[in-house]
Amino acid sequence: MSEHETSQETNINELKKVRLEKLEELREMGINPFGSRYIRDTDTAAILQNYTALEGQKVSLAGRIMSKRRHGKAGFANLQDLTGNIQLYFKKDDIGEEKYELFKKMDIGDILGIKGFVFRTQKGEITVHVEDMQYLAKSLHPLPEKWHGLKDVELRYRQRYVDLIVNPEVRDVFIKRSRFIKALRNYLDDRGFLEVETPMMQPIAGGAAARPFITHHNALDMDLYLRIAPELYLKRLIVGGLEKVYEINRNFRNEGLSTRHNPEFTMLELYQAYGDWQDMMELAEDMISSVILKVNGSMQTEFEGKIIDFTPPWQRITMLEAINIHTGLDFTVLQTAQEAQAAAARLGLKVDAKSTRGEIINEVFEEYVEAHLVQPTFITGHPLEISPLAKKNAEHPEYTDRFELFIMQREIANAFSELNDPLDQQERFMKQVEKRAQGDSEAHMMDEDYINALEYGMPPAGGMGIGIDRLIMLITNSPSIRDVILFPTLRSRE
RNA sequence: GGGCCAUUAGCUCAAUCAGGCAGAGCAGCUGACUCUUAAUCAGAAGGUUACAGGUUCGAUUCCUGUAUGGCCCA
């Protein structure tokens, strides 16, 4: 193993050696290969956009050399910065012998500051005629191929910095991600929501059904969980009178990885006092569609060859109706767990013998309905047993005032009227604790302090969680969640 | 956790099916070229075929295990 590595290192060193020698040559010429602050007065996109005004004008810009074409005593290169890419022209007669030597030594990947004037070549390409150049950083590694870029997904994730240099569409995804999240914040801020930060490290991991990561605080000699959701803390703030709060940040769930799951992922959660699940539905529809319109310039996006139309209103359908449509099963007449069990068996679905009617409804839904939900669809009326933090429906207390939003077969949002009856909440927790005792490691833990908070009185409230990464996948046509997370979780090498 | 697939030069890929000297393009190196743009032309170089074993006269190729990644399933 180590033998293999040393041989690989020697190979890399042969390429790196040449660059280290060039670096030494620069130093001998009195040039610092790793320069400092450089003042730019423009960028590549601005030059291309304002050519008529800038023609013949002097400009100062900086960036990374991405290609080089030498022709004896003149040559071209391309310089890339955040905004794009522009051609540079070096002519020995104009730039002088010494600077022209620098151009000859310059490697693809080097970062330079450039001063020169803007012109158009005979072939019509807007170009900067270089009059002065300054080394800002010497690159010691060769960049991946200019034409095919970096394709090896493992390398792209492990060395995202290289991916970002050579694959411009990757950079665009993360710029769009940032704009999307900023637009969400603006939307909520404009409507009087207060952005807050609640604990990432929690003594009790609550607010969702998931296995948590465990860590340890030395000074307190106490185990802590990385949060699986901020929900119970945000609702404590509703008790405290903050009325409209939201948080956009990471949750951590100790589960397998897939194209839709990363152990740390970004959620938006928001709570609105004196509102309910219907308000959340209106908010979800308006917020998501208007933010997508703002960021994408259209209510339609293409994902894996299908057009998703975010134009409101979105379809609203109860979970039982959806099941009836896609399986023919009518759970309104299947009133007992035994009947539900038998019906599921007829579909060919194996369910745990201990499952309740509500749990079976959920399993049938996940198995036979989710795959049909492509366009934005609100699924409403979830069974009580799978909704331990939601208010019961006033008329049908075996269901809750809740919805989930599905798009492209994925759960994107989850919202409900928040349960504010501390006695009811205590009972629900007790049921979860029983399930936990029976080995369900995803069941909720008892949170006495949360009950205590509810006992002070929490106003009725609507609350919602939105999976940001999955939404970003949809608007950037990214098939894997790893394509929208800068540094996705990977097994460490060695 | 299970199944399937992949791993060859710094990068992108051939050769693997059916065992017989491991090849190309880009990048790098040497040289020519003062408006090129996947620049061009000439030349030389670059490999423990992921790792460890096995079968064989001979293994990148077949077999076993390991590592990492991908897809599907849980």
Considering all nucleic acid strands, name the nucleotide whose C1' atom is nearest to the C-alpha of residue A73: B34
Residues A176, A122: one domain?
Answer: no
Query: Under a CB-based contact definition with an 8 Å cutoff, are residues A75 and A90 in contact?
Result: yes
CA dihedral A6, A11, A17, A18 (to 10 degrees): 180
Domain count, chain A: 2
Residue A367 CB contacts under 8 Å (≥ 6 apart), including other chains: A347, A349
DSSP, residue by residue, A371-413: GG--S-EEEE--BGGG-TTBPBPSS-TTBBSEEEEEETTEEEE
> Considering only residues 239-268 of protein chain A, which place a Cβ less than 7 A from any atom of strand B?
256-259
A356, A295 Cβ separation under 8 angstroms: no
Residues A171 and A138 in one domain: no
Diameter over CA atoms, chain A: 91
Domain boundary among the residues A143, A175, A192 is at A143
The spacing between the Cα labelled CA in A166 and the C1' in B12, in angstroms, equals: 13
Nucleotide nearest to A142 (CA to C1'): B10
For residue A13, say whether its CB is under 7 Å from any atom of strand B.
no
d(CA A280, CA A257): 30
pLDDT digits (tens, 9 = 90+) for A80-134: 999 999 999 999 999 999 999 999 999 999 999 999 999 999 999 999 999 999 9
In a domain, A285, yes or no: yes
Residue A279: what pLDDT? 98
Residues 133-192 of chain A within 7 A of strand B, judged by CB, are: 141-155, 157
How far is the first Cα of chain A from the last one, in angstroms, to the nearest whole number?
11
Domain edge (last residue) among A112, A143, A174 = A143
- Which amino acid appears at position A52 of this protein? T
Taking the C-alpha atoms of residue A450 and residue A360, their distance in angstroms, rounded to an integer, is 29
Decide which of A143, A175, A202 is a domain's last residue.
A143
Beta strands in A32-184 (DSSP E): 58-70, 74-81, 84-91, 111-120, 126-137
Do A276 and A417 lie in one domain? The reply is yes
Tell me if A411 is assigned to a ligand binding site. yes
| Angstrom distance, A92 CA to B33 C1' | 14
Using the C1' atom of nucleotide B72, identify the protein residue whose alpha carbon is closest.
A258
Task: Answer whether residue A347 is part of any domain.
Answer: no
Task: Report strand pairing: A126-137 vs A194-195.
Answer: unpaired
**Torsion angle in degrees (nearest 10) through CA of A305, A309, A314, A315:** -40
Residue A62 lies in a domain: yes
Any idea of the CA torsion for A251, A257, A258, A260, to the nearest 10 degrees? 0
Instruction: Output the pLDDT for position A4.
Output: 34
Cβ-contact A88, A146 below 8 angstroms: no
pLDDT of residue A65: 97
Strand B nucleotides, any atom under 7 Å from protein beta carbons: they are 1, 9-13, 25-29, 32-40, 46-48, 50-52, 67-74
Residue A482: DSSP 8-state:
G
Helices (H), A123-205: 153-158, 160-166, 168-190
Report the nucleotide nearest the CA of residue A491, measured to C1'.
B68
Query: Which two structure tokens, joined as six digits, stand for A82?
Result: 């955040």
In a domain, A325, yes or no: no
Instruction: Answer yes or no: do A188 and A233 share one domain.
Output: yes
A111 and A191 co-located in one domain: no
Q: Copy the structure tokens of residue A211.
A: 């296995």
User: Does residue A244 form part of some domain?
Assistant: yes
Please give the pLDDT value at position A7: 38
pLDDT at residue A348 in the model: 87
| Closest by CA position to A445, among listed A462, A464, A429 | A429
Give the CA-to-C1' distance from A494 to B66 in angstroms.
Answer: 13
**Which is it for the CA torsion A71, A72, A73, A77, positive or negative?**
positive
Query: Any idea which nucleotide's C1' is nearest the CA of A259?
Result: B71
φ, ψ for residue A300 (rounded to 5)? -105, 140
CA angle A218, A220, A225 (to 5 degrees): 80
Distances (CA, A) of A276 to A17, A312, A401, A444, A460: 66, 20, 8, 23, 7
Segments forming the whole domain that contains residue A139: 3-143
**A302-331 as b/e, with b when 16 or more CB fall inside 10 Å?**
ebeeeebebeeebeebbbbbbbbebbebeb
- Give the count of beta carbons closer than 10 Å to the beta carbon of residue A117: 16
- Whether A137 and A174 map to the same domain: the answer is no
What backbone phi and psi angles, to 5 degrees, belong to A398? -85, -5
Residues A397 and A450 in one domain: yes
For residue A479, is it within any domain? yes
- Residue A307 has phi, psi (to 5 degrees) of -90, 125
Q: Is residue A300 part of a domain?
A: yes
Q: Is A404 known to sit in a ligand binding site?
A: yes
Q: State pTM to two decimals.
A: 0.93
Cα torsion A196, A420, A456, A210 to 10°: value is: -60
User: CA–C1' distance A144–B16 (Å)?
Assistant: 26
Alpha-carbon span A467 to A138, nearest angstrom: 41
The ranges of chain A with pLDDT < 50 are 1-10
Rounded distance, CA A445 to CA A441, Å? Answer: 10
User: Are A200 and A236 in a shared domain?
Assistant: yes
Q: How far is the CA of A412 from the C1' of B50 (A)?
A: 39
Which pLDDT does position A250 carry in this prediction? 96
**Separation of CA A257 and C1' B2 in angstroms?**
15
A176 and A84, same structural domain?
no
- The span from the CA of A47 to the CA of A83, in Å, is 10
- Rounded, the Å distance between the CA of A148 and C1' of B38 is 10
pLDDT at A494: 61
Look up the CATH number of the domain holding residue A266. 3.30.930.10
Residues A37 and A115 reside in one and the same domain: yes
Are A179 and A92 contained in the same domain?
no
The ipTM, to two decimals, is 0.92
CATH number at A25 reads 2.40.50.140
- Asked whether residue A46 is assigned to any structural domain, the reply reads yes
On whether both A412 and A479 belong to a single domain, the answer is: yes
